[in-house]
Structure 1
C-alpha cells in the first residue's frame, strides 16, 4: 500500500524540476527578444549598458506574469508525461491509487504559482512598468536626438521643418534639409551634408551644420540670397521638446490596484478609459488564476499522452497560445464596451477550466475525449508536414 504523503512528495519533486527549467527557458527567450529590441539604444544612441540592464530588470515582472502560468502547465504536463511513458501512472492505478490522489501536489504547485503571480500582478507589474517608462523618458530627455527620426519631415521645433536622411547616433546627422520660417519676412531653406545637435543652456539646443548652402527668400519674393558655408550654427528652442518629455500622469498599466479604483471613480461609466481601467483591474486577478487552470489541464493531458518531452512542449504551446489569443481578443472587444470587462477577462479561464474538469473526469473514468488524441497527435502532424516540406525542397535542388 502506498502512503499518500510519499506519493505527494514524489509527484511534487517530479513537477518542480520541469517547472523551473520551463520558467527559465521562456523568460530567457523573452529577455533575448527584448535585448534585440534595445540593441539600437546601445549601438546607435550610445545608451550605457547599465541603463539597458535596468530596463531589462523592470520588464521582468511583466515577463513572469505570463511565463509562470506557462511554466506551471509544462511542469505538470512534462512530469506526468514522463510517468506515463514509464508506465508509472498505470502501476499506481493498478496498486489502487486513484487519480484524485494526484490532485494535492498539483494543487500545491498551482497555488504557489498563483500567489507569486498575484503578487507580481498587483505590485511588481505596476512598479516595473512605471520605472521602465520613467527611465525611457529620462534617457529621451538627456539625449535630444532620440526625438528625431530618419526620413520624416518633422516639426519638432517651432517655426522649423527638418528632414534627416540618416541618424548614425551620438547626435550625428547626415544629409539634412531644413526650412526655417522663424525670421519674420524671410524664408530660409538650408541643405547640409552633415549635422550635429547638442544641448546649450536655458532650454536651448545648438544645431551645428557642416558643408551646406543657405537659400534665403524675402516675403515679397523680390530679394533672394544664396550662400555656402563650412560650418553654420542654428539655435533652436527646446522647451517644447522638454515639455514632451514631462510625465504628468500614469498609464493604467503603471497603476496599483488602489490607484485604478480611484481613477475609475473619476471617469464616466461609459468611457473607453473606464473600460480599460476596469479590464486592467480584472486582469490582475484573471491572469494569475490561469496558473490553477493550466495545472488542472496539464494533469489529464499528461496522464493520457504517451509522447516525449517534445510532444509535451508542443501541446503546452498549443494550449497557451489558445489562451493568449482568447485573452487578446477579449481585451480588444472589451475595451470598446461591447460586453462587460469581467466577461472578457474571465472567459478564457472559464472555458479552459471547464475543458480541464471534463478532461480529468473522463480520464478518471478511463473514457478520454477525442480532443486528447487530437492534441497528442499535433506534434506528429507538424513533424510530418515539416518533413514533407523539407523533402520537397531537397527534390527541387
Structure 2
C-alpha cells in the first residue's frame, strides 16, 4: 500500500506542477498582450515585466490552485480507471477508501499552501508590486504622444496634439480634456505646449502657452484665458492607473481584515460598502483554500462516473465543473459586496454543495453504484430513444 500511495502521490504532484505552470503561462501571455502598447511606449524591459508578474503570482495562485488540485486528482483517477488499474486493485481487495490517503494528503498539502498565500503571500505580493511599479515610474517611464492621435493612457484624461516632437517635448495645436472629477469637464487648448518628464519625482508636467480653459459643470460653462498653464500628472498612473494612496480590502493581510471586522474604527474607510468588501474578502480568504481539498475529493467520484472517457474530454469536463463552482463563488462575491445577502452565505454555499456531492459520490463509487442523478439521466435518454 505504501508503494501504491507513493505512486499516486507522485503522479498527482507531476500533474499539479504541469497544470500550474500552464495556467500561469497562459495568464502571463494574456497580460503581456493586454499591456503590449503600454510596454512599447515605455522604457520597461522584459526582465522588469517578469518582476511585476512574479509579485502578482500570489494573486493568480490563489485562484488557480483549487482548479489545479481538482484537475490533478481527476486526471489521475480517470487514467487509472481507463487503464483498468482501479478494477485490478479492487479485484485484489483494495477498496477506494484504502486509496484515499494519497489524494487526501496531496489535497491537504495544496490547502495549506493556498492558506499561506491567502493569509500572507497575497498582501506581500501586492505591496511589492505597488512598490516596484512606482519605482519603474520614477526611474524608467516616459510620456510619449503621437501626432493626430488621442492619448488616453492616463485615467480620465485625454491628450491630443496636431504636431509632436517627442525628442524636444514640443507640441503644436494641443489640448487636454480632464474628466477625472465627476460631473465636471475641463478642456485646455493652446497653440503650443511643452512636455517635461521628471523621473526623480515620478511626475510629468505639460505646460501650455497662451491658451484658454473651458470648464463645464452641469449647465454652467466658464472660459478663461491664460499666458501659461501647467498640468501635472503622476507617472505611476501611466503604468496601470494604480492609486497608491487608496487602501483596498483585497490588498490587506488576513490578520488586518480580522482586526477591522472586530473593530470597524480601525478601517481606513468606515462606509457600509467598504465594510461589506472587508467581510467578503475575509470569507474569500477562507473558502478558496478549502476549495482545494473539497474540489479534489469531488473529482474522485466524477472520475469513477465517467470512466473510459478520453483525457482531453475529461479535461474539458473537469474545467466545466470548476466553472460551475467558480461561477457560484463569483455570484456570492457580487451579492456579498452589494449587500444582497451576507457574504458568509454566498461564499460558503459552493463549498457546502460540493462537500455534499463529494461525500455521497465517494460512498457510491466505493460501492460501485451509480449516482441517482446519473441514473435519472440514463433513464431519460432511454425513454427518449423509445419514444423516437
Normalized against structure 2, the TM-score is what?
A: 0.75
Name 1:113's counterpart in structure 2: 110
Cα distance change of structure 1 residues 150 and 283 upon mapping to structure 2, 3 Å threshold: same
Tell me, in whole angstroms, the C-alpha distance in 1 between the residues paired with 2:59 and 2:153: 35
Look up the SS of the partner of 1:89 in the other structure.
helix
Farther-moved stretch of structure 1 (316-325 vs 244-253): 244-253
Structure 1 position 311 matched with structure 2 position 305: no
Q: How far did 1:257 drift?
A: 1.6
Farther-moved stretch of structure 1 (65-74 vs 194-203): 194-203
Look up the SS of the partner of 1:131 in the other structure.
helix
Name 1:150's counterpart in structure 2: 150
Cα distance change of structure 1 residues 82 and 169 upon mapping to structure 2, 3 Å threshold: farther
For residues 181-196 of structure 1, what are the structure 2 equivalents within 5 Å? 189-191=189-191, 196=195
Is the CA contact 1:70–1:320 (under 8 Å) kept in the aligned structure 2?
Answer: yes
Tell me, in whole angstroms, the C-alpha distance in 2 between the residues paired with 1:215 and 1:49: 41
Look up the SS of the partner of 1:145 in the other structure.
coil
Name 1:342's counterpart in structure 2: 344
Name 1:198's counterpart in structure 2: 197
Structure 1 position 236 matched with structure 2 position 238: no
Tell me, in whole angstroms, the C-alpha distance in 1 between the residues paired with 2:336 and 2:14: 38
Q: Structure 1 unaligned runs (5+)?
A: 181-186, 218-224, 226-232, 377-397
Tell me, in whole angstroms, the C-alpha distance in 1 between the residues paired with 2:350 and 2:165: 46
Is the CA contact 2:43–2:142 (under 8 Å) kept in the aligned structure 1?
Answer: no
For residues 238-277 of structure 1, what are the structure 2 equivalents within 5 Å? 238=232, 241=234, 247-264=244-261, 265=263, 266=265, 271-277=272-278
**1:17-69 Cα distance to aligned partner (Å, 9 max, x none):** 22221121112111211222232232122223333122111111111112221
Query: In terms of Rg, which structure is larger?
Result: 1
Name 1:135's counterpart in structure 2: 132
Look up the SS of the partner of 1:198 in the other structure.
strand
Tell me, in whole angstroms, the C-alpha distance in 1 between the residues paired with 2:293 and 2:151: 50
Q: How far did 1:145 drift?
A: 3.2
Tell me, in whole angstroms, the C-alpha distance in 2 between the residues paired with 1:283 and 1:302: 28
Q: How far did 1:98 drift?
A: 1.2
Q: Structure 2 unaligned runs (5+)?
A: 178-186, 214-224, 379-388
Structure 1 position 100 matched with structure 2 position 97: yes
Tell me, in whole angstroms, the C-alpha distance in 1 between the residues paired with 2:150 and 2:364: 60
Aligned-residue Cα RMSD (Å) equals: 4.2
Tell me, in whole angstroms, the C-alpha distance in 1 between the residues paired with 2:133 and 2:203: 21
Tell me, in whole angstroms, the C-alpha distance in 2 between the residues paired with 1:8 and 1:203: 56
Structure 1 position 29 matched with structure 2 position 26: yes
Look up the SS of the partner of 1:335 in the other structure.
helix
Cα distance change of structure 1 residues 70 and 242 upon mapping to structure 2, 3 Å threshold: closer
Tell me, in whole angstroms, the C-alpha distance in 2 between the residues paired with 1:89 and 1:242: 60
Tell me, in whole angstroms, the C-alpha distance in 2 between the residues paired with 1:15 and 1:37: 33
Tell me, in whole angstroms, the C-alpha distance in 2 between the residues paired with 1:370 and 1:307: 20
Q: How far did 1:166 drift?
A: 10
Tell me, in whole angstroms, the C-alpha distance in 2 between the residues paired with 1:166 and 1:362: 73
Look up the SS of the partner of 1:133 in the other structure.
helix
Tell me, in whole angstroms, the C-alpha distance in 1 between the residues paired with 2:99 and 2:234: 60
Tell me, in whole angstroms, the C-alpha distance in 2 between the residues paired with 1:175 and 1:371: 71
